[in-house]
Amino acid sequence: MTQDVGPQRDRTREGAAAHAPGQVRAASAIIGLEALALLAAAALLTFKTVFGDPDSVGRAMSDAGFALLGAVLLLFAARGLMRLSPSARTPVLVLQLLALPVSYSLAFQAHRVAYGGPILVAALVVLYLLFTPPAREALDRDVQR
C-alpha cells in the first residue's frame, strides 16, 4: 500500500532549503545572527577573563560556556529550520520565548537598550515569522491516523 505524499513533503534534506518559504529562510537568518552574537559574546567573555581581572574566573568562564552552548543550539536550530525539519520549530519557539523576558529585563530594567532592544526585536520577528501560514504549512508534521 503506497501513501500519497504531497508536494510539500516530497523533498530531500539537501533540496529543502530551496523549497523553504521566505519566512522560514528569514527566521533562520535571524537565528543565525543571534548565534553569531552569542559566539562574539563568548569570545569577549573569554578574552576579558584571560586578560582582565574577573571577580570569579569560574563564573566568568561558565558564562562564556553558556554563551557558546547557546550559540551552538541556535546554529543547530537554524540548520533544522532550513531543512524544514518539524522538530526544529519547538526548540526555536522555546528559545525565542525565553529571550523575551531576558531582553525586556536588559532593555527596560537594566537600562541597556543597546543590548536588550535587538534581542527583543529579533525574538518577536522570529516568533511572527514562524507563525505565518507558509511557515506553519512547511513545518507542520504529517499526522498518521
The residue with greater pLDDT, 70 or 1, is 70
Boundaries of domain holding 86: 21-138
Q: Is residue 2 part of a domain?
A: no
As a whole number of angstroms, the distance between CA 33 and CA 125 comes to 13
Q: Is residue 14 part of a domain?
A: no
3-state helix/strand/coil string of 53-110:
CCCCHHHHHHHHHHHHHHHHHHHHHHHHHHCCCHHHHHHHHHHHHHHHHHHHHHHHHC
Q: Is residue 105 part of a domain?
A: yes
pLDDT in tens, 69-88: 999 999 999 999 999 998 88
Q: Is residue 120 part of a domain?
A: yes
What's the predicted TM-score (pTM) here?
Answer: 0.81
Q: Is residue 144 part of a domain?
A: no
The strand ranges marked E within 32-142 are none
pLDDT in tens, 84-113: 998 889 999 999 999 999 999 999 999 999
As a whole number of angstroms, the distance between CA 89 and CA 131 comes to 10
Place of cell 562574539: 40
